[in-house]
Structure 1
Amino acid sequence: MKRKTKIILIICAIIIVIISVAVFQFIKATNESMKQLEVLTIENVDLSEVADGEYNGKYELFPVTVEVNVTIKDHKITKIDILKHDNGKGQPAEAITDAVVSANSLEVDTISGATMSSKVILKAIENALADTN
């Protein structure tokens, strides 16, 4: 019986160590992402230089990944489709695409409570439209 107890305790200890390492790595990655988010800049794109068409862009900042398709017509953003949005609680940030279309600009306010996803979506839109001429 003592041998079984020892084995169980060793297995439990190994599981605890593995979980601790995983949690530490997750916290480290999240902290690094928050630092990157603080310095992330969204550059407005000169739409007068963007030809009509559809453009794809993506951006990733742990734990958020976004891929978008942006439609330009007559130098205006007419439609933004989010092709992929892996997020934590950032689903409400998808409403930012309506603000971008309405403003015809990337200079819009982020969605409260979903700042990271908002900025990642904006950066994906910027990436779609950057260097399109």
Structure 2
Amino acid sequence: MKLLWVLLVVAVIIVVVFLLYRRIENKLNALPGLPIADIDLRQVPDGTYTGSYAVFPVRVKVKANVSDGKLTDLTLLEHRNGQGKEAEKILQNVLSSQHLQVDVISGATYSSVVILKAVESALIDQKIR
């Protein structure tokens, strides 16, 4: 009887881990399809704003400086990633193009999208740092 309980507990643990893994995998796979807002920077008041976005295991926090309708600086305050360190280059692409509609970094798609969503959050929510 004790062995039956142990097997039942192990089976439940395996099912829970499997379901959690599938949920995380589904959220990550949905990232490339997330829309990124086309923000009119002329409508964003001058200031320094912070934004964040997270989809486990990727978590990002950024600081965005806006002056005279232009992004003057983007700083990565936090980037917890798996293999997405290369995605940090995307901030320079955003600064150069002055919009969020840039290509993701090949091989770092998940982190690229999360970084873009964090910048989007900063510019839309305009949380002053």
Q: 1:70 is matched with which residue?
A: 64
| Corresponding residue number in structure 2 for 1:100 | 94
Moved more, 77-86 or 14-23: 14-23
Instruction: Find the partner of 2:36 among 42, 57, 63.
Output: 42
Q: Over the residues paired in the alignment, what is the CA RMSD in angstroms?
A: 2.3
Structure 1 distance, partners of 2:41, 2:27, is: 30
- The runs of 4+ residues in structure 1 deviating greater than 4 Å are 13-19
Does 2:113 match 1:116? no
TM-score by length of 1: 0.79
In the alignment, structure 2 segments of 5+ residues that lack a partner are none
Indicate conservation of the 8 Å contact 1:43/1:126, yes or no.
Answer: yes
Residues 109/53 of structure 1: CA separation in 2 closer, same or farther (3 Å cut) = same
Question: TM-score of the superposition, structure 2-length normalised?
Answer: 0.81
Q: Quick check: which has more Rg, 1 or 2?
A: 1
Query: CA offsets per residue over residues 68-100 of structure 1, 9 Å max, x none?
Result: 000111111111111111111011100100000
The unaligned stretches of length 5 or more in structure 1 are 1-6
Judge conservation of contact 1:29–1:62 (CA < 8 Å) in 2. no
Cα distance between partner residues in 2 of 1:125 and 1:102: 14
> 2:32, 2:110 within 8 Å by CA — same for their partners in 1?
no
